[in-house]
Amino acid sequence: MDLIQVDQEKCTRCSLCVQVCPSRVISMGSQGPEAGNPSCIACGHCVAVCPHAALDNRKAPLAKQLPMDNEPVLDAETAARFMRTRRSIRCYKKTAVPREKVLQMLEIARLAPTGGNSQGVAYHVIDNATVLRKISAVTVDWMEGQVEQGTAWAKYFDGLVDVYRKTAEDVILREAPCLVIAVTNKRFLDRGRDNTHFSLAYAELYAPTLGLGTCWAGFFGACAASGYQPLLELLNLPPQLAVTGGLMVGFPKYFYKRLVERNPLQVTWHS
């Protein structure tokens, strides 16, 4: 089956599909657009840009693309305030997160841009309170080992381990009722790790629209990346998969009243 099909009655030979193709798969022939290069990355640009819906692509079917009709565009000020209101949430209500809300969030996360449209990120979700507490406990065990070994992280981990041992306060997952774990095939690890950052950033930004708060589970992620076996055994993932990130998810216990400042912008121009 050919990669692209062109409706000759609709096609105006405008060549927009040729211009936007990032892999130069499509060229303009005497009968209209042609695909002579097999390296299509299934980005769907060619189908999406056609003003007359004249082109279809086997890897990015027209039937699966949603038409855009006067899509709302946020003005710059509204968009800026929306982006700035995102906060890392570390205090959660004890309310369980409905799985349908998690799925809504991850449906948006999977649409995030990825290098060469490679995607390759899947999600393992844990919302069992007992398992979450065990994850925090084994992560603290790993951190304590780092302290005892005097690694570069020792000074940073020392205080957190001490708090956990003395008070049992969850300094790892902050008693979040849900943990989203991003995973990728070990053969795809470098690109998968980058793509995870894009996808979880989308999840973080979309979560507030569902009433949810999120925070990167950095200590958990570092422990998993180190290959700490007690944690990996607890997760019980297929052997070909590697953890590339974790996101705590829950309903925020508190709400912020002000937009926080950051370091001043630093830009240099090359002329």
Domain with residue 214: its CATH number is 3.40.109.10
Same domain, 102 and 230: yes
**Does 261 reside within a domain?**
no
Q: Who contacts 58 (Cβ-Cβ below 8 Å, separation ≥6)? A: 1, 2, 3, 4, 5
Query: In which domain, by residue range, is 37 found?
Result: 4-64
Can you tell me whether residue 123 is helix, strand or coil? strand
Number of domains present in the structure of the chain? 2
Same domain, 55 and 126: no
Contact 46, 55 (CB under 8 A): yes
Same domain, 149 and 38: no
**Does 90 reside within a domain?**
yes
User: Residue 37 pLDDT > 80, yes or no?
Assistant: no
**Does 264 reside within a domain?**
no
**CB neighbours of residue 195 within 10 Å:** 25
Of the pLDDT bands very low, low, confident and very high (cuts 50, 70, 90), residue 38 is: confident
Please compute the mean of the pLDDT values over residues 6-25 and round it to a whole number: 95
**Does 263 reside within a domain?**
no
Beta bridge partners of 32: 29
Of the pLDDT bands very low, low, confident and very high (cuts 50, 70, 90), residue 2 is: confident
pLDDT of residue 252: 98
Exposed/middle/buried for 196, CB within 10 Å: 0-12, 13-18, 19+? buried
Q: What does the alpha-carbon distance between residue 44 and residue 209 come to, in Å, rounded to a whole number?
A: 27
pLDDT of residue 6: 96
Closest CA to 251 of 104, 126, 91: 91
Same domain, 25 and 91: no
Cite the beta strand spans of the chain per DSSP E: 4-6, 26-29, 32-35, 55-57, 122-126, 178-185, 213-216, 241-250
**Does 269 reside within a domain?**
no
Same domain, 40 and 150: no
pLDDT of residue 108: 98
Same domain, 180 and 206: yes
Same domain, 232 and 119: yes
User: Residue 1 pLDDT > 60, yes or no?
Assistant: no
